[in-house]
Structure 1
Amino acid sequence: MKEFLSQLRHSGELLVVEREVDPRHELAAVTKKAQMQGDQALLFERVSGSKLPVATNLYNSRRRLCELAGAPLDGFCRHWSQLVDGIGEGGEETTRAAQDPAPRRDGALSDLPLITYHGKDAGPYFTSAIYLARDPGSGVPNLSFHRSMYVADDELRIRLGSSHDLARYQRRAEEKGEALEVALLIGVEPAVFLAACTSIPPAWSELDLAARVAGRPIDMEPCAGLELEVPASTQIVVEGRILPHERRPEGPFGEFLGYYVPEGENHVFQVDRVRYPEDAVFHSLLCGSSEDLAPLEAVTAARVYRHLVNAGLPGILDVSCSPAFMNTTIRIRQQFEGHARQVMLAAFGANMDYNRAVFVVDEDIDITDMNEVMWAFLTRGRVDKRVMVLDDVPGFYRDPHKDYWGRIGVDATMPMDRREEFERKTVPGVDDIDLRDYLSGS
């Protein structure tokens, strides 16, 4: 992550906050304000109560995500799908022992910036926390994000979510009456962060995907007290165990949907040790902000794209899940009447958690601009005949009120047999105009 910060500083994409900030609300408020005005990363040099600087807004730019993944701006989905597909091929070294890893000091959770983000949060949270654990059966390592509430130096309370791999590992350990060894990673290199955002088959390792993103094996080092290895570039490593048969109150917390999740009985992470180098940088992530959602939107779109292409559907050009990750917009080159509807139906099955609304548009529409998408829907045919409603389809996990049930599909494509009637008007020469040649005082 520190190398990434150096690159951002060199390219003028890093804003440095020299003034000391309070980790209770003030740091989050400055972060949110900066995001409202641009996509530059932030580095807080002085945070009250901690000696560690805090970096944030690292992943809130689609352009930056494409650069990190080695993808063209208009081809993230295709490129990311190829990276994921390559995991199953095997035959390459994806991790290796680190040579001369940076020395780490022993510390405590209270050494770290204890950041409270939202007005009604129960306390400080570690929001960029990536949990590394091994499948108790196969030994395959898994990376996943889970919010973690600070209670004391020896205890975090975490929300696992019933559908996550880590939750499955914990259940299997708990059935045996055993704690699950876990390492919590804060401040990882970009390839590891992006890999942890991605949903892949349980038999595959996110570390293998990280190696493909980085273009090299991931350097690993052993934990001090666990039978686990962690990426050596990680800034802060918290070692511990998820306790069996133990649930304690966690929350409320302002989650990524934009609402507070109420207090609930959730898992307990017993902290054994905290280790970090003297010059470590802490990564803060404002939950539900552009830095949280931009990577989620990008990898979710790539997952839908991969699903559609692997299903053999023709004419799939690109997919976007912005500006809201539960919305999916698919750009196609129409091949036959009913093509859009067929794509719609296939897309619903690509991700049952997130694909609540699916729009299908023609190849001339900017799928990242919902104004264009809605314009296409409203001007390219009857609105009452081009909407598909799927009642009572189960969706988001832990949804007792069924608020996230149901699906809607929208065909925003033009009629195939009347395409000439929908030719978009143009103004010749716009791309050649430099306004400085026409405006006084420029």
Structure 2
Amino acid sequence: MVSATAEQAGGFVSGKLSDLPAVTYHGRDAGPYFTSAICLAKEPDSGVPNLSFRRSMQVSDTELRVRLGGTHDLTRYQKKAEERGEALEAALLLSCPPEIFLSACASLSYEASELVMAEQIKGEKIPMRRCETIDLEVPASADIVDEGRCLPHIKRPEGPFGEFMGNYVEVGDNHVLEITHVSYRPDAVLHGLVCGSPEDLRPLEAVTAARVYRHVAAQVPGVIDVCCRPNRMISIVKIRKAYEGHVQHVFLSALESYLDYNKVVIVVDENVDIYDLDDVMWAYLTRRRAMILNDIPGFYRDPKKDHWGRLCIDATMPWGREAEFARKSIPGQDDINLADWLTQEG
């Protein structure tokens, strides 16, 4: 990162939250939300900055209520600060350029900084400007910045809200971000994100697949590719099967790769297109061996344990019986050019 020039850091005006558009996205939402807010905070000991998306309910000009997931790095930051009796300083970045948006989607190790990843995506250093009321630097390219402090030992009701799974997350006690300053460019356009839309899901699916692939490929041989469509709760893993029990090793590794999300793991052979759900379902229907794992915690937004449990599906050909499960083919099919037969002469 580099310090922003006067020109890069200039042009901002001070204001308040109520200056910004207040968008209530769904019928039962508790009120307006920032859905594309990227939270920037520093690890209390190392000072490493972290970027992550945080839905934030607008309560007043001085208060947002923010959902923190139990397994997230930001939650660990907040707990460390809280144990010291301190507030965690944080800035919410809105209307950011693609390199910041994509980096905030990523799932990196605790010691890594998403800002470094943003620089790698952009191919150059990210200009940073200092906040007015907290000890943080933020990307000068963020058009709207809400500065604040995540208060220790204070939680207040947040929700309901229509989340990306298509249903409502009910009211829960969540963290309070006390807003200390708001700045924005006069021509800023608020980026509103509809949770569960393709704009929301596609980046999340891509970064989840990358995380699962890195983890599983490091432990288990023969991993070719991973896809997390049509929902990041599902991981479809393509392997080059090498031994009996290979699939079970993939199951174990994939399930531990992302404790929040992998509710379903499907393993397929190398001749199945994991980006074609019809092909995956064909493999499932013709080769399926399912294993249900009950009473395993799933997504952290499940306080009543309604959705505990995991499903693992072995959609590969049984070891040693591949010929019995071969996909049918039509001799010469690939040599036929339909245009030769459908073109009319005269």
Residue of structure 2 aligned with 1:407, choices 310, 313, 319:
310
Match of 2:334 among 405, 411, 428: 428
Query: Any residues of structure 2 matched to 1:130-145 within 5 Å, and which?
Result: 130-145=38-53
SS of corresponding position for 2:211: helix
- 1:361 pairs with 251, 262, 268, which one? 268
Aligned pair partner of 2:247 in 331, 340, 357: 340
TM-score, structure 2 length as denominator?
Answer: 0.91
Question: What letter is aligned with 2:126?
Answer: I
Q: Secondary structure of 1:168's match?
A: helix
Which residue number in structure 1 is paired with residue 58 of structure 2? 150
Percent sequence identity over aligned pairs: 55
Please say if 1:162 is aligned against 2:162: no
The match for 1:350 among 231, 239, 257 is: 257
Partner of 1:115: 23
CA drift of 1:219 comes to 1.8
The answer to whether the 8 Å contact 2:291/2:311 transfers is: yes
Q: How does 1:152-191 map to 2 (within 5 A)?
A: 152-191=60-99
For 1:411, give the aligned amino acid.
Answer: D
Task: Note the C-alpha offset of 1:227.
Answer: 1.1
Match for residue 244 of structure 1 among 152, 162, 170: 152
Counterpart position of 2:285: 378
Residues of 1 paired with 2:335 and 2:13: CA distance? 62
* 3-state SS of 2:120 partner: helix
The residue matched to 1:208 in structure 2 has which SS? helix
- How many angstroms does 1:131 deviate by? 0.7
Matched residue pairs, number? 340
Q: Distance in 2 between matches of 1:258 and 1:434?
A: 44
For 2:268, the aligned partner's letter is V
TM-aligned CA deviation for residue 319 of structure 1: 0.2
Q: Tell me the distance in 1 between the aligned counterparts of 2:277 and 2:14.
A: 49
Describe the superposition over 1:175-232 as per-residue Cα deviations: whole angstroms up to 9, x where unpaired. 3332221110011121221211122221111111222222222221111222111111
Structure 1 residue 357 displacement after superposition: 1.0
Q: Report the alpha carbon displacement of residue 398 of structure 1 after superposing the two structures with TM.
A: 4.9
3-state DSSP of counterpart to 1:323: coil
1:321 corresponds to? 228
Identify which of 182, 199, 206 aligns with 1:274. 182
Q: Alpha-carbon deviation of 1:429?
A: 4.6
What residue ranges of structure 1 are gaps of 5+ in the alignment?
Answer: 1-94
Residue 247 of structure 1 and its aligned partner are, at CA, apart by 2.2
**Residues 52 and 104 of structure 2 are in contact (CA less than 8 Å); yes or no, is this contact kept in structure 1?**
yes
Counterpart of 1:96 in structure 2 is 2
Cα deviation 1:66-93 (Å, max 9, x = unaligned):
xxxxxxxxxxxxxxxxxxxxxxxxxxxx
8 Å Cα contact 1:220-1:231 kept in structure 2: yes
Counterpart CA distance in 2 for 1:135 and 1:342 is 34
Aligned 8 A contact 1:332 1:363 in 2:
yes
The aligned residue for residue 129 of structure 2 is 221
Report if aligned partners of 2:227, 2:274 keep a CA contact under 8 Å in 1.
Answer: yes
C-alpha displacement at 1:433, in angstroms?
4.8
Please tell me the root mean square deviation across aligned C-alpha atoms, in Å.
2.2
Task: Please report the TM-score for the alignment, with normalisation by the length of structure 1.
Answer: 0.72
Deviates further, 153-162 or 348-357: 153-162
Q: Which amino acid aligns with 1:222?
A: R
Query: Offset of 1:267 from its aligned partner?
Result: 1.7
Q: Which amino acid aligns with 2:132?
A: A
Residue in 1 that maps onto 2:203? 295
Match in the other structure for 1:49: none
Distance 1:438 1:336 in 2: 49
Secondary structure of 2:320's partner? helix
Unaligned runs of 5+ in 2: none
The one of 232, 245, 256 aligned to 2:164: 256
Question: Which residue identity lines up with residue 47 of structure 2 in the other structure?
Answer: G
State the Cα distance separating 1:309 from its structure 2 match: 1.4
C-alpha deviations, 1:71-122, integer Å up to 9, x for none? xxxxxxxxxxxxxxxxxxxxxxxx1222331421112212211111000001
Whether the 8 Å contact between 2:90 and 2:149 is mirrored in structure 1 is yes
Q: Which residue of 2 aligns with 1:26?
A: none
Is the 2:169–2:301 Cα contact (8 Å) retained in structure 1? no
1:255, CA displacement in angstroms? Answer: 1.5
2:297 is equivalent to residue 394 of structure 1 = yes
Distance 1:129 1:438 in 2: 55
Alpha-carbon distance in 2 for matches of 1:433, 1:218: 53
